[in-house]
Chains A and B, each alone.
Chain A
Amino acid sequence: MASFLKGLLAAVVIVGLLLVMNALLSREGLFGFGLPGVDDYTARLLVFIGINITLAVSLNLINGFTGQFSIGHAGFMAVGAYASAYITVYHGKAIEASLSGFVGETVAHALVLLLVVLVGALVAALAGLIVGIPSLRLRGDYLAIVTLGFAEIIRIVILNIDVVGGATGLTVPGYADFFWVGIFAVITIIVVRNIVRSDMGRALVSIREDELAAEAMGINTTRYKVVSFVISSAFAGVAGVLFAHYNKFLSTNDFTFIKSFELIIMIVLGGMGSITGAVLGAIVITVLPEILRRLPEVGGYNLADLRLVIYSALLILTMIFRPQGILGTREFGLNWLRRPQKRPAGDEAVGADKGVPIAEQSTEETIKERDNR
């Protein structure tokens, strides 16, 4: 009961915070409290951070925790984006009008978004299932290239469907705002965290560590791989829906393999197999190009023109000097504030010195903490 109340309290706080931030991000701001809003540029950047967090955290489930090398996330994002945009573009007004008779306009507006988020998630999950069942028989780099191939095929197929704009792109009504992007980013984090801490998460990590051994221990590796792939695709679809209805315009150029690479960079930079790492990576990779845009002029050369060169050079240097990513497999949290837990001797995870991702240690600690109580 106590944990339920704690969860409820956390949910109220998160929703409240997001509502306040949403008001701050609107042009009007919180004038009632004398706080002006931020400019469109910053608001947009924050929304894209939220979308990228959803994408990176969900990609981390399949890449970081299950250890399956998927580089086709942008394809599932595209599926969600276009499936939902098809509904809102052609039926959005009608659905909203019929709903607002019952629940009022504001709620109807939100309900339409929730409906298409659900549709986007389901269609993307289905795409994930269709792609996952054959591909996940393959291992390592073969899996990588097949997921990339499927994503490109999805993109090219969408490009040839005229009803969703084809090569000219598609104008989409704006249903999403910072609040919804924030809510779904938080939901993604919570769901992935709970999966990782459940027995399913243990199975996934064991597949990552040694697939053969996991299979020998009786884990149905194919099933777990497909399930984590489908969940991951569903959240990519959600991110696609939010992107479509915030950006208000869709072009298949937003979903090339370059986007998938960007997401891989986020999770590797943040630390594979760390949820907070993925969040951090998403923030850094979204913000960094914008910071580099403001580089000064030095000796007649405008450094801002070189921003993409500097960006890629920084990426290479980070990999050379911090190969495990910013956080490694650790989680960033407030645990260090609590009294330190004594670990029994010899509890070091196997392979801890090899630089490969090891079983998530903070999870072990939390579980022990819970058992102690």
Chain B
Amino acid sequence: MSSNPLPTGVTPVKSTGLHVGEIAPGVKKVDPIIIADGVTRKFGGLTAVNVEHLEIPRNAITALIGPNGAGKTTLFNLLTGFDKPDTGSWTFDGKNMKGVAAYQAAKLGQVRTFQLTKALGLLTVMENMKLGAKNQVGERIFPSLFPGFWRKQEATNEVKALDLLKKFKLDTKQTDFAASLSGGQRKLLEMARALMSDPKLVMLDEPMAGVNPALTQSLLEHILNLKQEGMTVLFVEHDMHMVRHIADWVVVMAMGEVVAEGPPDEVMRNQKVIDAYLGSHQDVDLGVVTGRVKGKMDPEAKKMAEEVEHLDQAINASEKGDN
């Protein structure tokens, strides 16, 4: 783990030496925050998650990647108590989490965001933020009747919320209903709200989906900052540039299983990962292949163009057959 000050968004400081022994799916970590064993979840006949052993390193940024339907979000739901596994157990920060309800998991310092943003639209931005704070006296029913019990804490929370909102550039929106924010701003709000609880582990489900490039840059900085502040980040993401850029460790899932893990550059060279997820043509510019963009056709692009041509002909032939 590096103790260098964080460069502002340019080159993130990667944490290295997170694992013990040879890198393989389920490798031991030096200091894991989550240890999962034999976690399975079936939906009818479909095994959505089947994780033999998985450890998430503490105070590092771990990316969870994999094709659609690989079980990433289901695993997220299981780890956060939003869903119950059929078998298996896991610990968070040394505590056995089996049967722990979602709200209790959050209280223990494990907060999450959702793939479909859940900003509470008809609450104001500030109310959203204050809702994130933990251990509020005023949230208990009897003290809530008497402002004397909670006014001071409320003021403290407001200062903290404003501070976070400034960081996320939402401070000018604090009295607006969250519903009036753009999709990207809602993602920011959801993340800021999660941070109100001073979590140990922040779990982000596709934080970049639907966020414009400029905002992506600031979101990346925020995520890197979390590590700097001593938190652990686990996120699901499809954007490989982002994964390569900020993740210290990458876990790849396919068909519910962990098929590979390791530091980003190593994982992305892994043949299994390429087959299951990245695809063999990941570096080919589709614009060039389709002829919409002028560019150099390298051998790989040519090969892909030929494949496409072949498929096209097959489709045309079958359509003629139908008529």
User: A and B: partners?
Assistant: no
Chain A residues within 8 Å of B, Cβ to Cβ: none
